Structure 1
């Protein structure tokens, strides 16, 4: 039997898109079906290989952070055991017993092996100054950090994207020059310095003008119910303004630069030639394509939400992870410093990895 005598039997069905494994090809034998691996299957394999590579790189980075956090903070001058005594007279026998209790008399290699083994089980050790598990201290301080930095993150992301879009679309105008100049200025300002200025101007007061906001802390301690919520919000205003002022500037500049790169593209000219309004061209065509670098920045900044803002929290005496890290450094409280450093770095690494994994889904040119 030939193909000419029964062309239907040897027909090739171009089921393009009907199967994720590729088009189906029927041969002359009943029930025998072969599947070809088409572009979709190849793209899926390439994407999975890309994801596996990114995850592997993240694991290597986490281990490097683990090594760095152990050895780096042992270079800090000072004896943590003596710091724990608070200056009280302590005998040499008592100091030796404390060093033995915390394993400080063991060789460095043994301390490192024990540290890695404990971290793999979620145990970062016991804080020297608080005499409590490190993870408990981190868990207690995390909600305050998420409240402060999470609120600031949402605000400066929305403001930065909106203003970046507006300034780029009106490139060269008065608003563009004012907003870009202000963003460049705030982006270069140290956050702790800006926080101190806000405290002087709005907490302490200038001249006859009294201060309107607390100088620090998270609450007054004498409020309950809805009054407590208002009290916490009152304490948040200045640190949130500080974080938003620095954070929105970076988002604005990235969004503005990305949109300017898109504005000369042919597809925007085509959209305008079809009679679309300028507002629709911006919202439906230009902004979605310009958002790709900004999405990466958003995920990177999302990692810093967990890491907190060490300097800002310290300036405003905010009881979060940043303030806890500053307290741990002053001792030095090695287990607490190491645990916080690892958590900070892990949050950034994980968010960077998530951004790398999602980016090819937004831009098919990446990871193929």
Structure 2
């Protein structure tokens, strides 16, 4: 009986200790995980704010290094008196000291006001919103196509590495990725726009529309104008996605969990789609989000080559004056889009791999 009582006493002592220690320990572990994630989020958001301020400062001082007088450029070479030039400079605030111009610019930017365009005499925000839909039409269409093509071909190449398809895909991706976008665009215009030899001119050489279509005919007309610039962007950009996806997947190929999945009898296609590809997503997700930020910025050279009326063409037009408020506003808008998308990618990482936030 004494032995039984002793055993019973020991068991009674041990049993309460387990739950009492396990509960707080589990809560403490979850609390540490939450705290680590909140610190991670705060760090990323703080870095984004600092980056945005750095871009704001850079956009103001960088474009003032461009030679030329915007007031004289806007007069179009006409004979203008010194009094009129002084009046224009006072109207645009160019007569103020540089530090005062900078503080005024920062104060406006913090309220969401990017200033007034010199050449259009309209708010920069309005000009950006006017051209943004055209840029999104071109770049989102291209983004969806080259991302899907790059991820698909990248996974196929990695899974069948060393084969004829892998060598052909990788070689073509490297070739097109190294080709300047404006050169490829000009080449496509010569061959498929103007026509060369037996190849007739099949597509418009520039612009977004013919200007005399309505309804569904207008949609087809815009799509017709969209073909060459989209082909240019897809050809130049898909290679980067392919190479990053292929490299990330190759790093996962020798992992033990893939061997285990095959040993369980899973088909090779299921092993790739359900196990290998999801674990190789982090580098590809980064690239996709960065490219998504660039979608808002558009592609200045491609839009200029094809006379596409988007943000890229507007930036080139403003840079030639130089229209300082419009150039500064567009530069800040482009950089902010990339910074925001990059920050979103960083915040998404812990959902894909919780180890990132530790």
Query: Shorter chain as normaliser: what TM range?
Result: over 0.9
Residue 89 of structure 1 corresponds to 79
SS in 2 for 1:122: coil
Q: With structure 1 as the length reference, what TM-score do the two structures score? A: 0.92
Matched, 1:72 2:62: yes
Residue 186 of structure 1 corresponds to 176
SS in 2 for 1:365: helix
Matched, 1:349 2:339: yes
Q: CA deviation at 1:89?
A: 1.3
1:50 aligned to which of 30, 40, 52: 40
1:156 aligned to which of 146, 158, 166: 146
Q: CA deviation at 1:141?
A: 0.3
2:309 aligned to which of 305, 319, 339: 319
In structure 2, what is the Cα distance between the partners aligned to 1:5 and 1:78?
Answer: 90
Residue 224 of structure 1 corresponds to 214
Alpha-carbon contact 1:23-1:38 (below 8 Å) kept = no
The within-5 A match list for 1:300-311 is 300-311=290-301
Matched, 1:169 2:159: yes
Matched, 1:212 2:202: yes
Higher relative helix content: 2
| Total equivalences in the alignment | 351
In structure 1, what is the Cα distance between the partners aligned to 2:137 and 2:214?
Answer: 18
Tell me which stretches of 4 or more aligned residues in structure 1 moved more than 3 Å: 3-10, 12-15, 22-25
In structure 2, what is the Cα distance between the partners aligned to 1:36 and 1:333?
Answer: 60
Instruction: Give a deviation string over 1:215-246, Cα, whole Å, max 9, x none.
Output: 01000000101011000000000000111111
Instruction: Give a deviation string over 1:343-367, Cα, whole Å, max 9, x none.
Output: 0000000111111111121112212
The within-5 A match list for 1:122-161 is 122-161=112-151
Residue 234 of structure 2 corresponds to 244
SS in 1 for 2:354: coil
In structure 1, what is the Cα distance between the partners aligned to 2:109 and 2:337?
Answer: 15
Instruction: Give a deviation string over 1:148-183, Cα, whole Å, max 9, x none.
Output: 000100011111000001111110111110010000
Stretch moving more, 206-215 or 330-339: 206-215
Say what the alpha-carbon RMSD is for the aligned residues.
1.9
1:336 aligned to which of 313, 316, 326: 326
Q: CA deviation at 1:324?
A: 0.2
Query: For the structure 1 residues 110 and 269, does the alpha-carbon distance in structure 2 shift closer, same or farther, using more than 3 Å as the test?
Result: same
Matched, 1:99 2:104: no
Q: CA deviation at 1:39?
A: 1.7
**Unmatched 5+ residue regions in structure 2?**
1-7
Residue 364 of structure 1 corresponds to 354
Residue 235 of structure 1 corresponds to 225
SS in 2 for 1:38: helix
Q: Looking at both structures, which has the greater relative contact order when contacts are Cα pairs under 8 Å and sequence separation is at least 6?
A: 2
Q: CA deviation at 1:303?
A: 0.4
Alpha-carbon contact 1:23-1:36 (below 8 Å) kept = yes
Q: CA deviation at 1:38?
A: 2.4
In structure 2, what is the Cα distance between the partners aligned to 1:14 and 1:285?
Answer: 36
SS in 2 for 1:312: helix
